[in-house]
Amino acid sequence: MNERIKYASCPLCERPNIFPHKTGNCSAHALYNPVLSPTINWCKCLDCGHIFTEGYYTDEACGILFGKTHDNQRAGVGIEHNRLISSRMIEKVLPYAAEGRWLDVGFGNCSLLFTAQEYGFRPVGTDLRVDNVRIAQGFGIEAYSQDITDLALHDKCAVVSMADVLEHIPFPKPSLTAAHALLEPGGILFISMPNLENIFWDDLDKHDVNPYWGEIEHYHNFSRTRLYALLKECGFTPLRYGISERYRVCMEVIAQKT
């Protein structure tokens, strides 16, 4: 099976100086299927420093991988515990936006939208998993199963959140550009993902227990530096850095549409 489409150039800066960086083992991943390769080859761009997989899965491979939904990504799961985590994410946004439409991209368990509604935002979500969209709609949430680059909304958003989403997207830039277009002037982007630029990450590497080199669903390992540069390239001003409580070694960044 032709399982990955190889990147001919860096998926962020589009320059061709890309070289092998590291190999990870994904055979113990919950979504792993033995018809796929048990290893992931990571590359580094010598121009912008970005680190990414050598390619992204074909539609056929995606069908095999994403036939299953992680239990913790099902809408409504862990509703009480996740409400607390979501509240702390929302409180990081409140100094910059306290009302209006909140779009969550890849809403998964839907907790961020449930909680944003409780805080007074008008929630809307998009998630590629159709069953999740149906469940969210059952809770009264406006929800779509569309890619953000195809999403058209009547009103602009005060907040767009992309929590642990960007690292799953083969080419992240068009999605950030779409988020920019969906935001009102001065609107807020909440974005989170693993950060490879800290001592904890290095320590996980040193002990060979870093889960992200074998994370079958990710195509990118961002550094804080590269994310900040990308945000600026896409028309955002980073406002504050924070640490995520949802997943290990993750950063949460608030940025403003400029």
**Footprint of Zn ion on this chain (CB under 5 A)?**
10, 12-13, 45, 47-48, 50
Instruction: Closer to Zn ion by CB, 6 or 248: give it.
Output: 6
Q: Which residues make Cβ contacts (< 8 Å) with residue 122, sequence separation at least 6?
A: 100, 101, 102
Instruction: Closer to Zn ion by CB, 103 or 193: give it.
Output: 193
Instruction: Closer to Zn ion by CB, 16 or 186: give it.
Output: 16
- 111: nearest Cα among 142, 130, 83: 83
Smallest gap from residue 173 Cβ to Zn ion (A): 11
Instruction: Closer to Zn ion by CB, 61 or 176: give it.
Output: 176
- 107: nearest Cα among 76, 81, 85: 76
Smallest gap from residue 105 Cβ to Zn ion (A): 23
Smallest gap from residue 225 Cβ to Zn ion (A): 12
Instruction: Closer to Zn ion by CB, 26 or 45: give it.
Output: 45
Smallest gap from residue 45 Cβ to Zn ion (A): 3
Smallest gap from residue 56 Cβ to Zn ion (A): 16
Smallest gap from residue 224 Cβ to Zn ion (A): 16
CA distances from residue 257 to 52, 110, 139, 187 in whole angstroms, order as listed: 26, 24, 30, 5
CA distance 97 to 92: 10
Tokens of 94: 């409140």
Instruction: Closer to Zn ion by CB, 11 or 106: give it.
Output: 11
Instruction: Closer to Zn ion by CB, 50 or 129: give it.
Output: 50
Smallest gap from residue 49 Cβ to Zn ion (A): 7
